Amino acid sequence: MQPFRKTVKLTIPARAEYIDIARLSLYGIANKMGFSYEDIEDMKVAVAEACNNSVLHAYPNRESGSIDLEFDMKDTELAITISDQGKSFDYEDKAKELSAHHNKELEQISAGGLGIYLMQALMDKVEVLSGGGTRVVLTKYLTAVNPGA
């Protein structure tokens, strides 16, 4: 028997006012898969952060561009890929910078760059591929809603 796998693809303009479409799509997909309300809310924040990074950094000066989303549903997980073809960045350098935040008070941390840190905190797995655009893969594992049942 083949494992369950379905994919939904969506392309939105790289503009802030379209990020809600990504969040609403995620809600419908994750709800159908049986994710808890808390997990869905965490995923919505992480996806919004990834999309917002594309809007703000990939297409500076409000250049026209798009954000591609792919929701890959499997038996035990949902992997959400957010990609753009805009300006890229060096993820390894940014990750090193973020690791320095661990021993600081919130008041000592600047707002820039916290999106990746937040995605890592909310998702089970985060992968970032950069160069010729940016591709972020956010994965959340499906846990039993009623573990005692």
Position 89 scores a pLDDT of 59
Domain boundaries, the chain: 5-141
Q: What is the pLDDT of residue 112?
A: 55
pLDDT of residue 1: 60
The pTM for the full model equals 0.81
Provide the pLDDT for residue 29: 97
User: What CATH number does domain 5-141 carry, 3.30.300.30, 3.30.2090.10, 3.30.565.10, 3.20.20.10?
Assistant: 3.30.565.10
DSSP string covering the chain:
-PPPEEEEEEEEESSGGGHHHHHHHHHHHHHHHT--HHHHHHHHHHHHHHHHHIIIIISGGG---EEEEEEEEESSEEEEEEEESS----HHHHHHHHHGGGGS-GGGS-STTHHHHHHHHHSSEEEEEESSSEEEEEEEE---SSTT-
Tokens 């799509």 map to which residue?
25
Average pLDDT score over the chain? 84
